[in-house]
Amino acid sequence: MLENLVAWLSGNLSPSARIWTALAPAILACAYFLGGLLLFCIRCAFKGIPRDEETLKRGSTVLVGFFLRHYFFWVIQPLWAVILRSGLPANALSMLSGLLGISAGVALAAGRFALGGWLFLFAGILDVMDGRIARTRKEANPAGAALDSVLDRYVDSAMLMGLAWYYRDTWVLLPALMALLGSSLVPYVRAKGEGLGVSVRDGAMQRLERVLFLGVGTALSPILEAVFWPQEKHPMHWLAVVGLVFVSIMSNYTAITRFRNLVRALAPKRQEARSEKAIYGLNAVAGAVATAADFALVLLLVEWLGILPAWATVVGSVLGAVVNYSINRVFTFKSTAAVSRQLARYAVVSGTSALLNAGGVALFTLHPQLPYALGWWLVRGVVYFAWNLPLQRDYVFNDNASPDALLEQRPHAA
């Protein structure tokens, strides 16, 4: 018995012990939550879904809908009631959640995925309860809200830093860092919006979803590793990798979506000759045609003539600029402004775009393990959406901002 305890604490476990250390908490949790789900469904059939007011205010997401959210808060009522009667302050729960979450990151960095995953999940449950405890006792205050919010950032960061450290010598380091970026930006954009008077709470990957996918993926991953790769000294923990990549993609998508909605809500309204969707759609078609021609020329120059990818990108950008301008002027914006002034503006945008694309590709070629074509597409996409697309609408093809249009708007002297 003592030997088993020492082995568990030191992490020197046999394959069967690794399975059971991950599976035992899962069996208990599944028995409780699946049994609770059965009772919840029976209860809903006779009395309807018990509505949780806070859940209704917070809304739902595509990944976790209202039914699952109402069920979760219903099934944890016994634990919530015990904590409420214990008299523990809400801030104490926040601190305990933070300590468990940071401990989860330390455990993951050491390769203890089952321990780290369950610590992270329990930290998430406590984080859900602290605010409710404070509001039920009428103890909620800005200081407690600030403490809870900051500790949440530490918990998420510690979890992802632990994963990044474990995967530091593999490709999984990149999605770990991207998930760290996305999980930080999602709440930041929301807080920035609230500070500017705009509510941006939308998005599929919010904190509950991050806790669920990361926690379950890491907690159960040792089971698969022990079954299929029992001799690996540094297993990949593929279930955790899947959850991490999914969170990486969806958290950044959520952050970008919130950021876009925030900017749109704050930007001054203006009349367009056609709908914004039509403009973006036609612009995307023009961009796709131009990019295809651009990439074909880059492949020709690199593969057949041996030109460096960065220089080939400059030449390809010239061809793409000509195709893009022609399609956008005639079909997308139906512009009637003077061609000379418009071409001068487009030369500024396309010239800087070529430099940005070439510089980005040159940076990617510093990493020979990455195919230059992959770097080219990544750089091309980022530069297009961050630089070309907004400037084409607001600068190049904005006929209302041309010098002639501005002069016409000036009051004439009597």
> What percent of the chain has pLDDT above 90?
27
Question: Which residues, at least 6 apart from 190, have a Cβ–Cβ distance to it below 8 Å?
Answer: 200, 201, 258
Mind spelling out the 3-state secondary structure of the chain? CHHHHHHHHHCCCCHHHHHHHHHHHHHHHHHHHHHHHHHHHHHHHHHCCCCCHHHHHHCCCCCCCHHHHHHHHHHCHHHHHHHHHHCCCHHHHHHHHHHHHHHHHHHHHCCCHHHHHHHHHHHHHHHHHHHHHHHHCCCCCHHHHHHHHHHHHHHHHHHHHHHHHHCCCCCCHHHHHHHHHHHHHHHHHHHHHHHCCCCCCCCCCCHHHHHHHHHHHHHHHHHHHHHHCCCCCCCCCHHHHHHHHHHHHHHHHHHHHHHHHHHHHHCCCCCCCCCHHHHHHHHHHHHHHHHHHHHHHHHHHHHHCCCCHHHHHHHHHHHHHHHHHHHHHHHHCCCCCCHHHHHHHHHHHHHHHHHHHHHHHHHHCCCCCCCHHHHHHHHHHHHHHHHHHHHHHHHHCCHHHCHHHHHHHCCCCC
CA distances to 26, 230, 365, 394 from 223, rounded to whole Å, are: 11, 10, 39, 54
Distance between CA 319 and CA 308 in Å, rounded?
17
Whether the pLDDT of residue 20 is over 70: the answer is no
Across the range 214-240, mean pLDDT stands at 86
> Model confidence at 162, in pLDDT bands (50, 70, 90)?
very high
Across the range 145-168, mean pLDDT stands at 93
CA distances to 261, 263, 272, 335 from 269, rounded to whole Å, are: 13, 11, 10, 20
> What percent of the chain has pLDDT above 70?
85
Return the higher-pLDDT residue of 376 and 333.
376
Q: What digits encode the pLDDT tens for the residues 52-103?
A: 676 666 666 767 777 777 788 888 888 888 888 888 888 888 999 999 999 9
152 assigned to active site? yes
Question: Which residues, at least 6 apart from 185, have a Cβ–Cβ distance to it below 8 Å?
Answer: 251, 252, 255, 259
Return the higher-pLDDT residue of 20 and 163.
163
CA distances to 87, 125, 292, 336 from 323, rounded to whole Å, are: 69, 54, 10, 18
The radius of gyration of the chain's CA atoms, rounded to the nearest angstrom, is: 27
Question: Which residues, at least 6 apart from 36, have a Cβ–Cβ distance to it below 8 Å?
Answer: 71, 74, 75
Ranges in the chain annotated CATH 1.20.120.1760:
2-266
Question: Which residues, at least 6 apart from 371, have a Cβ–Cβ distance to it below 8 Å?
Answer: none
Distance of CA 334 to the CA centre of its chain: 36
Structure tokens at 112: 């203890």
pLDDT value for 414: 41
Q: What digits encode the pLDDT tens for the residues 294-319?
A: 889 989 999 888 898 888 988 988 88
pLDDT value for 78: 84
Q: Which of 52, 127, 130, 152 is catalytic?
A: 152
Average pLDDT over the chain, rounded to an integer: 83
Distance between CA 374 and CA 266 in Å, rounded?
35
Question: Which residues, at least 6 apart from 77, have a Cβ–Cβ distance to it below 8 Å?
Answer: none
Q: What is 2-266's CATH superfamily?
A: CDP-alcohol phosphotransferase transmembrane (TM) domain (1.20.120.1760)
Distance between CA 244 and CA 242 in Å, rounded?
5
Q: What digits encode the pLDDT tens for the residues 98-140?
A: 999 999 999 999 998 988 999 999 999 888 888 888 888 887 8
∠ Cα 140 144 150 (to 5°): 145
